[in-house]
Amino acid sequence: MLNHYKRILKDTDQRVARSLKTQIRTKGCHRGGFLDSVGLVQPKYAIYQVTTAIAAYCNFDSCYYRNADVYEMIRLGLKYIALNQHEDGLFDLINCNFHSAPDTAFCVKRMLPPLKYLDARQRDDMEESIYINLKEIVRCGMNGLKRGGFHTPNHRWVIASNLMECGRFFDDDDCFKQAQLYLNEGIDCNQDGEYAEKSSGNYNRINNDAMITLGDITGNDEYYSDAIRNLNMMLTYLEPDGSIFTANSTRQDQGALIYPKDYYLQYLSMGYRKNIPEFLDVANYIFQLIEEKRISSPDILIHFMNHPKLKSVEHDGVFRPGSYQNYYRDSGIVRACRNDNTYTLLLGKSDFFHYSQKTMHLQVKLGGSFCEHRAFIPESMEKMKDGYRLTQTMRGWYYLPFKEKPDTNDWWKMDHTKREKLHGPNLQILCDVLECEHGIDLHIKVSGVEQAPFRLEIEVSGADLLWNDQFALPAENGKSMVLKQGMAIFSNSSESLQIGPGFGEHLYINGLFGSEPRSEQAFTLYFTDYTKLDHVIHLETGHKVV
């Protein structure tokens, strides 16, 4: 992957150039630190800047090889990092976590590759100074990790894998013992390849990194298998535009536009080491995306330096998504690809249906108020012959008076769990998602009460126009329209998306308090009716544009 290496090297040099400009050189507690994008200065961010600079400083191909200015930046940065490391070895994530083992583990993870690189080579005086200071910071961090403590599922594996790696580097048996306490809980990667947080845009690859490290240290192939299962699953999470489907995540990447560049090293490494040609195809695909989308390459120069054989790997194949339909039951998601377009069904989410083309994305919600409910959130999803059935029963109820006088007249202090309830009526919602010859049909039924106003919310991003034979208007983000009848076409200069027939029996589109607001990142097309309602909505992609 020599061409990939050259691009990574170029981007590394550009990162170092920016760091030289953003390092704080004035006297004070922040001297040696770096300003991040929102003006914060903290050790974790400094560690990322310094470790990137170390890779460039030690790389003969870099324009900053043994550069005096870069050395001074590294020296000041390491001093700042050491001064901001607590006596217990832990670092703060100043906008969230203090004396944080998980954030320290992320820091140690970042520092170990340059430390191991320097450890394995002959060092000049400057490199020796870097090595000694970096080693001491990592050693102190290792002691902090022994103390432990975590918040989220992925933190366990980040801490455990770093303890294992530090245990080997520093020959410390206590690290292995502490790591095993976390590993005793069992890895949360299911048979589909999904981890507990379902974080396709971020923490899945963090978990994969940890699994690969654990496999390297322990020699247990089961850890590699976890990472490989997830990497295979992730191939079905790629959207037609190359981004990752993130709407099912339980973490901060939910709904974010993220490209898979940070999975590159995992596909390259596992593809090469485990002889999986498709993973090498994906590595090439990711670099095609990097060029096409004009985004930076992953910050992994040091890994090519530690594993130079990766630089000489040559592989011509490029990943091309095929047709598939996968129901990941434990994750509550269906991912399917037909004719280069994808659709997604989600259990337990109001945005229960997604459809993606290369340049446009559509998601569907069904809004309406029934007691405490504000939208259709599927409780069950079952496979049928031609598609899937999503259902929910909204259960009506009312409190009844206490049978005995309560201890207080303060509503908020009353124990309402002791009240009896009057149950009913119930509202049944059913949505069949059916593949048909020219697209997809959504058959929606709502029954149980009459004259309840419901609305189908169809949010489309990436379109320039919404039109049919009777009208045409810009499909501006944040805007909306009710389609009363007929089909409507969303289009841009590349492709189109036809949906309908519309129905518009009322204009009650905002809903009661607690309803989700209209999206500001998409145009919303509404179909409205009263219960009982029974409609089939057809969705079809095409190339008819205006």
pLDDT tens for residues 68-89? 999 999 999 999 999 999 999 9
The DSSP code sequence of 460-520 is EES-SEEE-SS-EEE--TT-EEE--SS-EEEE-SS-EEEEE---BS----S-STTSPPPPS
Q: What is the pLDDT of residue 437?
A: 86
**Rounded average pLDDT over 18-24:** 97
Check: CB of residue 352 under 8 Å from CB of residue 345.
Answer: yes
Give tens-digit pLDDT for 95-116: 999 999 999 999 999 999 999 9
My answer on whether omega of the bond before 385 falls inside 30° of 0, hence cis, is no
> Which CATH code, of 1.10.10, 3.40.720, 2.70.98, 3.60.15, is assigned to 324-541?
2.70.98
Confidence of residue 135 (pLDDT cuts 50, 70, 90): very high
The residue to which tokens 């520092």 are assigned: 111
Q: What is the mean pLDDT of the chain?
A: 97
* Gap between the Cα atoms of 339 and 337, Å rounded: 7
Confidence of residue 438 (pLDDT cuts 50, 70, 90): confident
In total, the chain counts a number of residues equal to 546
The domain limits of the chain are 324-541
In terms of Cα–Cα distance, which of 330, 381, 378, 390 is closest to 350?
378
**Rounded average pLDDT over 466-487:** 96
The pair of three-digit structure tokens given for residue 23, joined into one six-digit string: 């390092």
Confidence of residue 546 (pLDDT cuts 50, 70, 90): low
Q: What does pTM read for this prediction?
A: 0.95
Residue 365 sits at φ, ψ, to 5 deg, of -130, 155
Q: What is the pLDDT of residue 542?
A: 80
Confidence of residue 545 (pLDDT cuts 50, 70, 90): low
pLDDT of 282 over the 80 cut? yes
CA distances from 103 to 106, 141, 266 (A): 5, 10, 21
| Local structure of 545: helix, strand or coil | coil
94's CB contacts (< 8 A; 6+ apart) are 40, 42
Check: CB of residue 395 under 8 Å from CB of residue 401.
Answer: no
